[in-house]
């Protein structure tokens, strides 16, 4: 029993670490993590490797997200449609959806075949070459994991990579959800289309300051570790603010329950009679 609990705790811890690494990768995307710009891609690539998040692909699409936020051309890399009606089934499906991991597999295959292309707008030839190289390296890592499994190390591969990778899907979804959901998504004003969360010291560390999302979109060139200095002003003027992540999740659950009840009023009545 103790062995199983320890194994489960280890998998959860690795999932949390891998998710935190993607939050650190986010700062590399903006070239604000290091003074030497040349460090951002190699270290950003390594930070994204456990969750198969290609640095150059993520950077291209994420910078477009900043540019087109509040317009029909906006599309975040970890795509959750914040404009869709928020219901309990929608949340549940999105939280466990393997769509991004499956898309990463598709991108790896296309890169290895030399047929990868960027479907979300324009991309420079240099960035496209970087994306293809990174997905090919991901494919090499996956092939290495498969080879280790065939050589009798499948349990290690499962516990050290596959299981934490799958568990990171709902964890990362919950971290990304607060950024723009239930905000004014038809507005280009970052004080209306983005949310800031004060958060605890732990949540600020775990999200690498991504809780200060209004501040980040208002000044994306400011190093993320300096965004806390702008929080008092953002909290005063932003439309969507929360004191903590638990308060935000309660707010989302209430809204999702209301929307679910509106979509299925007969079901609610039947549940009440039972």
Q: Give me the average pLDDT of each 10-residue run along the chain (274 residues).
A: 87 98 97 95 98 97 93 76 82 92 97 95 95 98 98 98 97 94 93 97 97 96 93 96 97 94 65 40
How confident is the model at residue 273, as a pLDDT? 40
How confident is the model at residue 274, as a pLDDT? 38
Measured torsion, CA atoms of residues 201, 207, 208, 209, in degrees rounded to the nearest 10: -70
Strand, coil or helix: 242: strand
Q: Take residue 229 and report the two structure tokens written for it.
A: 């200095």
Under 8 Å between Cβ of 128 and 78: no
For 240, which DSSP code? E
How confident is the model at residue 68, as a pLDDT? 92
- Looking at the DSSP bridge assignments, the partners of residue 241 are 196
Q: Take residue 220 and report the two structure tokens written for it.
A: 């994306």
pTM, rounded to two decimals: 0.91
């Amino acid at each position: 029993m103790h062995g199983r609990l320890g194994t489960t705790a280890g998998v959860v811890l690795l999932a949390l670490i891998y998710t935190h690494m993607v939050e650190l990768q986010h700062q590399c995307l903006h070239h604000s993590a290091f003074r030497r710009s040349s460090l951002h891609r190699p270290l950003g690539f390594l930070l994204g490797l456990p969750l198969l998040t290609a640095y150059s692909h993520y950077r291209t699409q994420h910078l477009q997200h900043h540019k087109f936020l509040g317009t029909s051309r906006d599309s975040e890399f970890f795509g959750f449609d914040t404009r869709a009606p928020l219901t309990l089934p929608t949340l549940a499906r999105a939280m466990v959806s393997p769509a991004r991991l499956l898309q990463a597999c598709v991108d790896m295959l296309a890169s290895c075949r030399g047929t990868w292309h960027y479907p979300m707008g324009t991309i420079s030839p240099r960035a496209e070459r970087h994306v293809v190289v990174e997905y090919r390296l991901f494919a090499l890592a996956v092939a290495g994991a498969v080879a280790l499994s065939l050589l009798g190390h499948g349990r290690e591969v499962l516990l050290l990579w596959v299981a934490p990778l799958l568990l990171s899907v709902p964890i990362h979804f919950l971290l990304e959800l607060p950024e723009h959901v239930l905000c004014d998504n038809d507005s280009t004003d970052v004080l209306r289309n983005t949310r800031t969360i004060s958060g605890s010291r732990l949540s600020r560390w775990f999200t690498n300051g991504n809780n200060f999302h209004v501040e980040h979109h208002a000044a994306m060139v400011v190093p993320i570790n300096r965004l806390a200095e702008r929080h008092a002003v953002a909290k005063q003027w932003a439309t969507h603010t929360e004191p903590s992540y638990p308060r935000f999740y309660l707010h989302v659950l209430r809204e999702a329950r209301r929307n679910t009840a509106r979509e299925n009023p007969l079901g609610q009545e039947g549940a009440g009679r039972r």
